[in-house]
Amino acid sequence: MIYDAIIIGRGPAGLSCAIYTTRGNLKTLVIGKTDSMLFKADKIENYYGFEHPIGGKELFETGEKQALRLGAEIKEDEVVGIEKTDNFKVICVNGEYEAKTVLLATGAPVVKAPVRKLDQFEGNGVSYCTTCDGFFYRNKKVGVLGYTDYAVHEALELMAFTSDITLYTNGMPLNISDKHKDSLSKLRISENKIKELDGQDKIEWVVFEDGSRESIEGLFVAYGSASSTSFALKMGIATEGKSIKVNDKMETNIPGLFAAGDCTGTFKQIAVAVGQGAIASRQMIEWVRKKR
Amino acid sequence: MIYDAIIIGRGPAGLSCAIYTTRGNLKTLVIGKTDSMLFKADKIENYYGFEHPIGGKELFETGEKQALRLGAEIKEDEVVGIEKTDNFKVICVNGEYEAKTVLLATGAPVVKAPVRKLDQFEGNGVSYCTTCDGFFYRNKKVGVLGYTDYAVHEALELMAFTSDITLYTNGMPLNISDKHKDSLSKLRISENKIKELDGQDKIEWVVFEDGSRESIEGLFVAYGSASSTSFALKMGIATEGKSIKVNDKMETNIPGLFAAGDCTGTFKQIAVAVGQGAIASRQMIEWVRKKR
């Protein structure tokens, strides 16, 4: 089955868009983990329409109920990849889904992996995109920096190029779904805390806090959840800094792919995200109508 | 007393902005009549955060309570003019107020006056701006098309140039506040329904449905409430069609003057208006900080 619209992200931008696309008669699937920034908001008093402060969790849940009531489908899952086919294929930890149009509403790009000298080796052995750069590391000794399903997904993708892959969790406890547990056996796993990266012109060493070091030829960063930035790199979505570049219709440079909310680098407010979600919906409805 | 911010309009764009400016420590005054488009919305189900549909009136009232609770001041009044001084002077039916920055959130431009051939004589005797064009009608026989305080205000302004002024209500009942009732005696009033305007190259006649006609040299349109378009004409605010032209920061071409919501010609949705109000607030707070 092909959805009309898949919305990646369950925060205000995504749900506002879903409310509109559903009412606009698009078969709409919202995918995301229950980890919107909203949850960190204890008390929201600047979103129009609520006399008294409302908790972030409450707003999140109310918004979901609203979208469900109108007919949207919501899946708790983590998106690890998006591919452009005739439509769009959205790859999650627990399944793959296809849609005619996609909205990126993944929130603010995740915080950088806390590893010293990561920046310094970007483009010199440090990559954020297995799809883009995996090919350059055929039969080489590579690492994936991460501890979640997303990191395992990236590691598995690298297996097309090399079998010498270490998952560096940087001291973080592994947070992997059942689906990926078996795959872990194909990987070497290092749970040591990393002190820094080292090398001459390009990355050569991972140096641990206990003073030990391991040689490496490439390191792929997939720390935490896949962010809009990861999708941008893999799909060639134009960015400005770490944000998805959109025009005033919320269109990215890829036809049929839209973005809204914090991932567009806008004023990071619920009000703005909700407005952008609505604007995006109008274009998405238009897009699907033309495709039908 | 000078306000930091005056917000013209009591709909979602204006109130969302007021919520932010007040929290941003700006002394904020919201002015408008209780006539937001919201009131016409019986049931709103596409604004994020409400599981069940909410009435437009209820949302309007809740939003006002929210802004009041945070410290905004709200006045029920009709704005008939804005003047650029060192700050901005906002002229209402019942008073004048001054502020360092102003937001136009007046909603969609009002419907055109329903008079045939009005378009045809635009620029040829038909004007939407007494401030701009009054001077050209010194000692001439002019009319003002309208029936509200705004029309009387415009007629009074024309008295600087001519005393031969007829208020054409086009069959509408006069809707004038006490403040202006005395001024009516200075005007000739015609409550006949107009059939059309007539003239060769420029306006010469007002033709009534009963077949009678009156000669005229100029007709100033001030039908219904003063809209964003009226302010734009008077102040030289750049427009696109009938909408206020803003950039992605909600800045108009006049420094310190911002616009948000339906008057900017955007997707006419509460979600979008609320987002634009928030974005405008950020610039207004910045503007006042620089002025202090």
In this structure, chain A runs to a length of 292
Q: Are A192 and A171 in contact (CB under 8 A)?
A: yes
Nearest CA in chain B to A22: B46
Residue A245 neighbours by CB distance under 10 Å: 16
A22 touches chain B (CB under 8 A): no
Looking at chain A from residue 132 to 191, which residues have their Cβ under 8 Å from any Cβ of chain B? none
The stretches in chain A having pLDDT less than 50 are none
Q: pLDDT digit of tens for each residue in chain B (292 aa)?
A: 899 999 999 999 999 999 999 999 999 999 998 777 787 777 899 999 999 999 999 999 999 999 999 999 999 998 989 999 999 999 998 999 999 999 999 998 766 788 999 989 988 999 988 877 888 899 999 999 999 999 999 999 899 899 999 999 999 999 888 888 888 888 999 999 999 999 999 999 999 999 999 999 999 999 988 888 888 888 899 999 889 999 999 999 999 999 999 999 989 999 999 999 999 999 999 999 988 7
B272 touches chain A (CB under 8 A): yes
How many Cα atoms are found within 13 Å in the side-chain-facing hemisphere of A125? 23
ipTM: 0.81
Which of A20, A23, A272 lies closest to B275 in CB terms? A272
Nearest CA in chain B to A70: B45
Q: How far apart, in whole angstroms, are the C-alpha atoms of residue B76 and residue A19? A: 33
Burial class (CB in 10 A: 0-12, 13-18, 19+), A110: middle
Contact list in B for residue A269 (CB cut-off 8 A) is 275, 278
Burial class (CB in 10 A: 0-12, 13-18, 19+), B270: buried
Taking CB atoms and an 8 Å limit, are B271 and A278 in contact across chains? yes
Q: How far apart, in whole angstroms, are the C-alpha atoms of residue A283 and residue A281? A: 5
Burial class (CB in 10 A: 0-12, 13-18, 19+), A98: middle
- Domain A2-110+227-291 homologous superfamily, CATH: FAD/NAD(P)-binding domain (3.50.50.60)
Beta bridge partners of B280: none
A278 touches chain B (CB under 8 A): yes
Taking CB atoms and an 8 Å limit, are B48 and A63 in contact across chains? yes
- Which residues have a Cβ under 8 Å from the Cβ of B182 and sit 6 or more positions away? none
Q: What is the pTM (predicted TM-score) of this model? A: 0.83
Q: How far apart, in whole angstroms, are the C-alpha atoms of residue A216 and residue A204? A: 5
- Taking the mean position of all CA atoms in its chain, how far away is CA A193? 24
Taking CB atoms and an 8 Å limit, are B51 and A70 in contact across chains? no
Residue A227 pLDDT: 81
Residue B5 pLDDT: 98
Contact list in B for residue A276 (CB cut-off 8 A) is 275
- Selection from B57, B55, B90 nearest residue B73 by Cα: B90
Residue A281 pLDDT: 96
Which of B16, B70, B248 lies closest to A271 in CB terms? B16
Contact list in B for residue A270 (CB cut-off 8 A) is 48
Taking CB atoms and an 8 Å limit, are B66 and A59 in contact across chains? no
- DSSP summary character for residue B19: H
- Domain B119-221 homologous superfamily, CATH: FAD/NAD(P)-binding domain (3.50.50.60)
**For chain B, what are the domain ranges?**
2-110+227-291, 119-221
- Taking the mean position of all CA atoms in its chain, how far away is CA A68? 23
B59 touches chain A (CB under 8 A): yes
Q: Are A99 and A91 in contact (CB under 8 A)?
A: no
B51 touches chain A (CB under 8 A): yes
Contact list in B for residue A57 (CB cut-off 8 A) is none
Nearest CA in chain A to B267: A279
Q: Do domains A2-110+227-291 and A119-221 have the same CATH topology?
A: yes
